[in-house]
Chains A and B, each alone.
Chain A
Amino acid sequence: GAVVSQHPSRVICKSGTSVKIECRSLDFQATTMFWYRQFPKQSLMLMATSNEGSKATYEQGVEKDKFLINHASLTLSTLTVTSAHPEDSSFYICSAPGQYSTDTQYFGPGTRLTVL
Protein backbone atom coordinates (compact mmCIF):
# COMPACT_ATOMS: atom_id res chain seq x y z
CA GLY A 1 0.00 0.00 0.00
CA ALA A 2 0.91 3.65 -0.31
CA VAL A 3 3.17 5.00 2.41
CA VAL A 4 3.37 8.49 3.81
CA SER A 5 6.26 9.49 6.01
CA GLN A 6 6.79 12.45 8.29
CA HIS A 7 9.96 13.95 9.64
CA PRO A 8 10.77 14.54 12.39
CA SER A 9 8.67 12.23 14.52
CA ARG A 10 9.30 14.36 17.59
CA VAL A 11 10.60 17.86 18.06
CA ILE A 12 11.10 20.03 21.11
CA CYS A 13 11.82 23.69 20.58
CA LYS A 14 11.98 26.93 22.50
CA SER A 15 9.22 29.46 22.34
CA GLY A 16 9.70 31.92 19.49
CA THR A 17 11.57 29.57 17.18
CA SER A 18 10.28 28.09 13.94
CA VAL A 19 9.87 24.39 13.25
CA LYS A 20 9.58 22.67 9.90
CA ILE A 21 7.74 19.39 9.49
CA GLU A 22 8.04 17.36 6.30
CA CYS A 23 5.44 15.07 4.78
CA ARG A 24 6.45 12.74 1.97
CA SER A 25 4.56 10.30 -0.18
CA LEU A 26 7.07 7.51 -0.63
CA ASP A 27 5.83 5.48 -3.54
CA PHE A 28 3.19 7.62 -5.17
CA GLN A 29 2.64 11.17 -6.26
CA ALA A 30 0.34 13.51 -4.40
CA THR A 31 -0.72 16.81 -5.90
CA THR A 32 -2.74 17.39 -2.75
CA MET A 33 -1.83 16.73 0.85
CA PHE A 34 -3.68 17.56 4.04
CA TRP A 35 -2.39 18.79 7.37
CA TYR A 36 -4.20 17.96 10.59
CA ARG A 37 -3.60 18.91 14.20
CA GLN A 38 -4.58 16.75 17.11
CA PHE A 39 -4.57 17.88 20.74
CA PRO A 40 -4.46 15.27 23.52
CA LYS A 41 -7.63 13.23 23.83
CA GLN A 42 -9.19 15.09 20.92
CA SER A 43 -9.96 14.33 17.33
CA LEU A 44 -8.03 15.33 14.23
CA MET A 45 -8.81 18.82 13.02
CA LEU A 46 -8.05 19.75 9.43
CA MET A 47 -5.75 22.76 9.29
CA ALA A 48 -5.09 23.19 5.60
CA THR A 49 -4.95 21.62 2.19
CA SER A 50 -1.56 21.72 0.53
CA ASN A 51 -1.62 22.03 -3.26
CA GLU A 52 1.36 21.36 -5.48
CA GLY A 53 2.08 24.40 -7.60
CA SER A 54 -0.37 26.72 -5.90
CA LYS A 55 -1.19 28.26 -2.54
CA ALA A 56 -2.45 26.19 0.32
CA THR A 57 -6.08 26.44 1.38
CA TYR A 58 -6.52 27.10 5.08
CA GLU A 59 -9.46 26.16 7.25
CA GLN A 60 -11.29 28.86 9.12
CA GLY A 61 -9.43 29.99 12.20
CA VAL A 62 -6.01 28.74 11.06
CA GLU A 63 -3.46 31.53 10.65
CA LYS A 64 -1.76 31.16 7.30
CA ASP A 65 1.13 33.40 8.32
CA LYS A 66 1.82 31.25 11.34
CA PHE A 67 1.48 27.88 9.67
CA LEU A 68 3.37 28.16 6.41
CA ILE A 69 2.77 25.40 3.92
CA ASN A 70 4.90 24.70 0.89
CA HIS A 71 4.16 21.89 -1.54
CA ALA A 72 7.59 21.74 -3.12
CA SER A 73 7.11 18.71 -5.32
CA LEU A 74 4.66 15.94 -6.11
CA THR A 75 5.96 13.95 -3.16
CA LEU A 76 6.76 16.58 -0.53
CA SER A 77 4.78 19.07 1.51
CA THR A 78 6.21 21.02 4.42
CA LEU A 79 4.49 22.71 7.34
CA THR A 80 6.47 25.40 9.14
CA VAL A 81 5.21 26.55 12.51
CA THR A 82 6.60 30.06 12.81
CA SER A 83 7.33 31.76 16.12
CA ALA A 84 6.07 28.73 17.98
CA HIS A 85 4.41 29.12 21.37
CA PRO A 86 3.50 26.54 23.99
CA GLU A 87 -0.11 26.51 22.80
CA ASP A 88 1.15 25.23 19.43
CA SER A 89 2.30 22.05 21.12
CA SER A 90 0.33 19.30 19.45
CA PHE A 91 0.45 16.21 17.27
CA TYR A 92 0.64 17.20 13.61
CA ILE A 93 -0.43 14.63 11.04
CA CYS A 94 -0.39 14.79 7.27
CA SER A 95 -2.27 12.70 4.75
CA ALA A 96 -2.35 12.22 1.03
CA PRO A 97 -5.09 10.83 -1.17
CA GLY A 98 -4.35 7.70 -3.13
CA GLN A 99 -3.19 8.09 -6.67
CA TYR A 100 -5.96 5.95 -8.12
CA SER A 101 -8.70 6.55 -5.59
CA THR A 102 -8.74 10.01 -4.11
CA ASP A 103 -11.26 8.91 -1.51
CA THR A 104 -8.61 6.83 0.17
CA GLN A 105 -6.41 8.83 2.49
CA TYR A 106 -3.01 7.60 3.58
CA PHE A 107 -1.83 9.09 6.84
CA GLY A 108 1.66 9.80 8.04
CA PRO A 109 2.82 8.62 11.47
CA GLY A 110 2.54 12.11 12.92
CA THR A 111 4.95 14.61 14.45
CA ARG A 112 4.82 15.44 18.13
CA LEU A 113 5.72 19.11 18.65
CA THR A 114 6.50 20.36 22.12
CA VAL A 115 7.17 24.06 22.57
CA LEU A 116 8.84 25.00 25.82
Chain B
Amino acid sequence: GESVGLHLPTLSVQEGDNSIINCAYSNSASDYFIWYKQESGKGPQFIIDIRSNMDKRQGQRVTVLLNKTVKHLSLQIAATQPGDSAVYFCAENGAGANNLFFGTGTRLTVIP
Protein backbone atom coordinates (compact mmCIF):
# COMPACT_ATOMS: atom_id res chain seq x y z
CA GLY B 1 0.00 0.00 0.00
CA GLU B 2 0.99 3.60 -0.25
CA SER B 3 2.99 4.96 2.63
CA VAL B 4 2.47 8.46 3.86
CA GLY B 5 5.47 10.21 5.27
CA LEU B 6 5.56 13.13 7.59
CA HIS B 7 5.62 16.57 6.00
CA LEU B 8 7.84 19.17 7.57
CA PRO B 9 6.15 22.36 8.73
CA THR B 10 7.37 25.27 6.66
CA LEU B 11 8.09 28.90 7.39
CA SER B 12 8.76 31.52 4.74
CA VAL B 13 10.17 34.90 5.68
CA GLN B 14 11.45 37.93 3.84
CA GLU B 15 15.16 38.57 3.96
CA GLY B 16 15.90 40.93 6.83
CA ASP B 17 12.85 39.96 8.87
CA ASN B 18 13.04 38.03 12.11
CA SER B 19 12.16 34.34 12.17
CA ILE B 20 10.64 32.36 15.00
CA ILE B 21 10.69 28.58 14.88
CA ASN B 22 8.81 26.65 17.51
CA CYS B 23 9.20 23.21 18.99
CA ALA B 24 7.25 21.20 21.55
CA TYR B 25 9.25 18.61 23.44
CA SER B 26 7.92 15.55 25.13
CA ASN B 27 10.02 14.62 28.13
CA SER B 28 9.54 16.86 31.14
CA ALA B 29 12.71 15.34 32.64
CA SER B 30 14.93 16.53 29.77
CA ASP B 31 17.47 19.02 31.01
CA TYR B 32 19.37 19.97 27.88
CA PHE B 33 18.05 21.25 24.58
CA ILE B 34 19.74 22.05 21.31
CA TRP B 35 18.79 23.64 18.04
CA TYR B 36 20.35 22.24 14.88
CA LYS B 37 20.37 23.50 11.32
CA GLN B 38 20.44 20.97 8.52
CA GLU B 39 21.06 21.88 4.92
CA SER B 40 20.08 19.51 2.15
CA GLY B 41 22.28 16.42 2.02
CA LYS B 42 24.33 17.39 5.06
CA GLY B 43 24.52 16.45 8.71
CA PRO B 44 23.00 18.63 11.44
CA GLN B 45 24.96 21.71 12.43
CA PHE B 46 24.86 23.00 16.02
CA ILE B 47 23.29 26.43 16.42
CA ILE B 48 22.62 27.04 20.09
CA ASP B 49 21.81 25.13 23.25
CA ILE B 50 20.14 25.79 26.57
CA ARG B 51 19.90 23.99 29.87
CA SER B 52 16.71 23.58 31.83
CA ASN B 53 17.85 25.97 34.57
CA MET B 54 17.65 28.82 32.06
CA ASP B 55 14.76 30.27 30.10
CA LYS B 56 16.67 32.32 27.55
CA ARG B 57 20.04 32.21 25.88
CA GLN B 58 21.42 34.43 23.17
CA GLY B 59 23.99 33.84 20.51
CA GLN B 60 25.00 35.71 17.43
CA ARG B 61 21.72 36.62 15.70
CA VAL B 62 19.98 33.71 17.43
CA THR B 63 18.05 33.43 20.68
CA VAL B 64 16.59 30.31 22.25
CA LEU B 65 13.67 30.52 24.65
CA LEU B 66 12.63 27.68 26.91
CA ASN B 67 9.25 27.41 28.60
CA LYS B 68 9.33 24.36 30.82
CA THR B 69 5.78 24.85 32.02
CA VAL B 70 4.35 24.08 28.61
CA LYS B 71 7.39 22.14 27.32
CA HIS B 72 8.02 24.57 24.53
CA LEU B 73 11.22 25.69 22.89
CA SER B 74 11.67 28.42 20.31
CA LEU B 75 14.48 29.67 18.11
CA GLN B 76 14.53 33.29 17.06
CA ILE B 77 16.74 34.35 14.18
CA ALA B 78 17.27 38.06 13.78
CA ALA B 79 17.66 39.69 10.38
CA THR B 80 17.17 36.43 8.53
CA GLN B 81 19.47 35.91 5.56
CA PRO B 82 19.19 33.63 2.50
CA GLY B 83 21.94 31.47 4.00
CA ASP B 84 19.63 30.69 6.88
CA SER B 85 17.37 28.68 4.58
CA ALA B 86 17.47 25.12 5.90
CA VAL B 87 15.58 22.67 8.06
CA TYR B 88 15.79 23.41 11.76
CA PHE B 89 15.45 20.72 14.40
CA CYS B 90 15.15 20.96 18.13
CA ALA B 91 16.61 18.10 20.15
CA GLU B 92 16.37 17.07 23.78
CA ASN B 93 18.62 14.79 25.73
CA GLY B 94 15.95 12.81 27.53
CA ALA B 95 16.89 13.38 31.15
CA GLY B 96 20.64 13.32 31.06
CA ALA B 97 21.09 10.63 28.47
CA ASN B 98 23.97 10.96 26.06
CA ASN B 99 21.79 10.45 23.03
CA LEU B 100 19.44 13.01 21.55
CA PHE B 101 15.82 12.86 20.51
CA PHE B 102 14.93 15.07 17.61
CA GLY B 103 11.74 16.97 16.92
CA THR B 104 10.02 16.85 13.54
CA GLY B 105 11.83 19.87 12.13
CA THR B 106 10.76 23.07 10.37
CA ARG B 107 11.83 24.10 6.89
CA LEU B 108 12.78 27.77 6.79
CA THR B 109 12.77 29.49 3.41
CA VAL B 110 14.14 33.00 3.16
CA ILE B 111 12.77 35.05 0.30
CA PRO B 112 15.32 37.52 -1.10
In-complex Cβ contact of B49 among A44, A45, A103, A110 (8 A): A103
Residues of A within 8 A of B49 (CB): 103-104
Give the CA-CA distance A86 to B55 in the complex, in Å.
44
B5 at the interface (CB under 8 A from A): yes
Q: How many residues of A contact B (CB 8 A)?
A: 28
Q: How many residues of B contact A (CB 8 A)?
A: 24
In-complex Cβ contact of B5 among A41, A105, A106 (8 A): A41
B62 at the interface (CB under 8 A from A): no
Q: In the bound complex, do residue A112 and residue B41 qualify as a contact, i.e. CB atoms below 8 Å apart? A: yes
B104 at the interface (CB under 8 A from A): yes
Shortest distance from the beta carbon of A9 to any chain B beta carbon, whole Å: 9
Give the CA-CA distance A40 to B89 in the complex, in Å.
14
10 tightest Cβ-Cβ pairs between the two chains A and B: A107-B43, A44-B102, A43-B102, A110-B43, A109-B43, A107-B44, A103-B32, A42-B6, A43-B104, A93-B43
